[in-house]
Amino acid sequence: MGGSVGAVAGSEWRCLTVRGRVRGAAAEELGAQARLLGVPGVTRIERASLVFLRHGPRVDADGLVGTVLTDPLLHDASWDRSEEVEGGRVVETVLHAGVTDPVAQAVARGARLVGVTERLDVATGSRYEVYGNVSEADLDRLITRLLANPVVEHAARGRIEPHEAVGDSSGDVEPVTLTGLDDAGLDALSRRRGLALDPAELLAVQAHFAGVGREPTDVELEVLAQTWSEHCAHKTFRATLSWADGTPIPPLLRQLRDTTDAIAAPWVRSAFVDNAGIVAFDDRLDLAIKAETHNHPSAVEPFGGANTGVGGVLRDVLGVSAKPIAATDVLCFGPPDTDPATLPTGVLHPRRIRDGVIAGVADYGNKLGVPTVAGAIAYDPAYTANPLVFCGCVGVLPTGSHRSTPEVGDRVVVIGGRTGRDGIRGATFSSMTMDATTGEVAGASVQIGDPIVEKGVLDVVLAARDAGLYNAITDCGAGGLSSAVGEMAAVLGADVELDLVPRKYPGLAPWEAWLSEAQERMVLAVPGDRIGALRDVCDRYEVELADIGEFTGDRRLVVRNAGTPVVDLDVGFLHDGRPARRMTAARPTVPAAHGTRSVADPGGALLALLAHVNLRSNQDVVIGYDHEVLGGTVVRPYGGAAGDGPVDASVLAPGGGPEAAAIGIGVNTRYGALAAGRMAWSVVDEAIRNVVAVGADPDRIALLDNFSWGDPRRPETLGQLVQAVEGCCAAARAHGAPYVSGKDSLNNEYLGDDGLRHAIPPTLVIHALGIVPDLRQTVTSDAKAVGDVIFLVGRTLDELRGSHLDLVLGIDADGSVPGPDHDSPARYRRLHAAMRSGLVRAAHDLSEGGLAVAAAEMAIGGRLGLDLRIDGDPVVSLFSESNGRLLVEVAPDDAEGFVTAMGGDALRLGTVTAEPTLRVATAGPTIELPVADLVRAFAGHVPGVSA
């Protein structure tokens, strides 16, 4: 049993304090974070884990200490804990009642494995000992900003006890009166209940129930709000659109789907119709791919939000009957050195958000045993209150093994975790603008994951797939059972009983049980004669199964509570009754330029670029992710001579044959506000260029699109979104790369203390999944051999607006954002042919920072020098971020053949040298920097250097 649920008569909580034996660095890090938050008197903060046990007389708690609760080699443990410590202050934290406690659940499972059969309650917490000169006000700041998250935790000075979930609901269903409400009354109802419905949608709901002659129940209203939410219904992407002059705009989702249909790639198995896209891999296996966002939850509870973002996208891939084999993460934060005094009310410090998100990503993937192999991190002040967390997953499945059509009479089966109050209204919460009260009102919207439970669910699904035990499957994500069962029943209808849904604790209202987004649950359509076999599989992996109803064929969704219907909705109205939004877009206004672009010291500018938080190495983050588990990672996130050189894309070998899969990512958060269409083309081209650089076939690349935007009801914001979709479609058609899945996350804004809405930059993330025909011909970016020739392929133009050079110069000078290179698709095919012919030793794409940064990264990876000569304007030649370009290393004897293979589209720049120095001669100043200085800069250490 996990968590502090249920009492054991005659027993009290006992608390074990567990300390790591090596903890100096962690204490210093917490102290440094405290000083960053404006509490300079802190010298260090010691942290210990608390494990609370409550048990009967036959449980040997002392015996559990050295077997389940601690490792004697790593930990010190004591049943004694003092209220005070000499020279310090004590703060203890525990989770709120009802918040999932996966550590407690793991302890309870471990106790069962060593023979504990009697009732055992477990809860966990943390103890902090704060040393230094700390006032009461300082301690308050530390508690709310660093040591505890009020969204999910209680904190106390001194000792604390677990908070237990108790029954606080009668289980009654409330009718909601819509009759007679005018527009203002409907709007007030929507705001009061957090429904996030448009006025036209509220009127449609009112008219529907007037037509059937009754008021809706609270459960029905919540079901409609979830199903029609921006998060689930993608109503902006499905809206009827026009420009301000009346010119119609095709619906955005249709544009993306039409692009895939027009490309008509024969190797696409499934696109836009399931939890994840599916493409052919080889003659036996298919690959599934999906990327999701978990932005709002990560803003209020960084660890839990990111943790369940990973868990959710893994279940998306599992929801197409595929085994997850790799994860990705793209993260956008406010600057880590943000002055805490400037933070809006209720906003966590960006450094705390960053650390929590990274820990959440690592925790889920590492525990589940799925390698995190690709990603990116971007920083911008506009992400301070609205961090973005994109989680991706690739899975593998036998060709044709996914079944997706329920049949009349199939049972509605839920497997996995129990249902609790965590995750209530997550879909509608993610569809609203955040403000200073978000953390207070959204606590129930935060989910906490348990990857160990998910591992059992994964094993069950794969075994059930191979045994043919289900006709359809989906994950229980946003909207919980309401979404999962509702979508599976969209054609047939279903009749389910809420009393059969396993609960974490008593007291959930019917609407809470139906809408809860509690994690690690899957819903399956199972023929009645296979329930027993599925139950046997679940018992084998200790996964709970609940048969809660039936797919009926009457096209009604009926949900009962103790036999009484609390939902009775026509599935046609539920899924097709929402009135389409009508929206008008305005052509975006481009911000005025400021500053003059001048670089007197290009070497200093290069070092500043390499050290900037947006370009520097993220190896200190990646090292916390297990990217080797499963043993299929051919090209890792960093490589080269010292293992610290950046790679363009990761490569996996999931099938045991010569084929491999490359995963690349395109994202640029600086172009969108300047030219959203060009930004979209650029990130599509970058993602494709990344996988081509490691050996992927340009004719076998599938794409995912993930849009994170501000409020699209603002015409200019919608205009940027329209331009971005148009750029996405144009780039994909040019490259012949279809979209197979996607996601939009809108309303990423924060209502600040100034009363104004602050939006994120228009942010588009593109994943590219490419097939490498022969993993033995995989190419990496590190310089390989002295004497090799370095070529530039592609054209360099004066395209420096929005560049990272301008970022380090602190300007936004005039110029052009990088535009489409219509020759790049043919160029990439010629380059791939040269790779297949063995002509290419290394390749590296040019993106942020331009040629200078790419050359430096090749030198860092190989720990070799480069001696290059470039002509033309030095600033443009060195730092332009024009699309479609790569640096390519070729053996001297192959240089002429490479130029021929590229059709002359290859400019010889110089050679690889034994002397570890990057030398780039230009028409102006020459860059001449030791590779050791480049390595230090790329690690973020350039004392005294500025551009």
Query: Are 407 and 551 within 8 A, CB to CB?
Result: yes
Q: What is the DSSP string of 502-535?
A: -BSSS---HHHHHH---SSEEEEEE-GGGHHHHH
Residues in the chain, overall count? 947
Query: How much helix, strand and coil, in percent to the nearest 5, is found in the chain?
Result: 35, 25, 40
Q: Which is catalytic among the residues 55, 154, 231, 832?
A: 231
Are β-strands 865-869 and 917-921 bridged in parallel, bridged antiparallel, or unpaired? parallel
Residue 299, both tokens: 């803003």
CA distance 416 to 834: 49
Within 514-635, strands assigned E span 521-526, 545-551, 556-561, 564-570, 582-585, 633-635
| Number of other residues whose CB lies within 10 A of the CB of residue 715 | 16
Which 3 state secondary structure label does DSSP give 78?
strand
- Is-catalytic flag, 294? yes
CA distance 685 to 734: 10
What is the helix (H) or strand (E) element at residue 248, kind and residue range?
Answer: strand 248-249
To 5 degrees, how large is the angle CA 696–CA 697–CA 702? 85
Q: Alpha helix (H) ranges present in 160-217?
A: 183-193, 199-212
Which DSSP state fits 584?
E
Amino acid at 427: A
Residue 923, both tokens: 């028409």
| Number of other residues whose CB lies within 10 A of the CB of residue 578 | 20
Give the sheet arrangement for strand 701-708, strand by strand.
633-635, 650-652, 660-667, 763-772, 701-708, 739-745
Query: Are 909 and 870 within 8 A, CB to CB?
Result: yes
CA distance 280 to 400: 10
Q: Tell whether the torsion through CA atoms of 710, 716, 720 and 723 is positive or negative.
A: positive
Residue 769, both tokens: 């999944």
Amino acid at 570: D
Which residues make Cβ contacts (< 8 Å) with residue 245, sequence separation at least 6? none
Which of 328, 244, 217 minimizes the C-alpha distance to 691? 328
Question: CB burial class (10 A; 0-12, 13-18, 19+) of residue 157?
Answer: middle
Q: Which is catalytic among the residues 294, 758, 767, 832?
A: 294
Query: Are 749 and 837 within 8 A, CB to CB?
Result: no
CA distance 114 to 164: 26
Q: What is the separation, in whole angstroms, between the first and last Cα of the chain?
A: 58
CA distance 738 to 258: 10
Q: What is the DSSP string of 746-813?
A: ---EEE-TTS-EEEPPPEEEEEEEEEES-GGG--BSS---TT-EEEEES---S--TT-HHHHHHT-B-
Which 3 state secondary structure label does DSSP give 419?
strand
The backbone torsions φ and ψ at residue 276, rounded to the nearest 5 degrees and listed phi first, read -150, 160
Query: Are 517 and 305 within 8 A, CB to CB?
Result: no
Greatest alpha-carbon span in the chain: 86
Amino acid at 421: R
Q: Taking the mean position of all CA atoms in its chain, how far away is CA 118?
A: 40
CA distance 414 to 546: 5
Query: Are 336 and 613 within 8 A, CB to CB?
Result: yes
Active site residues: 231, 294
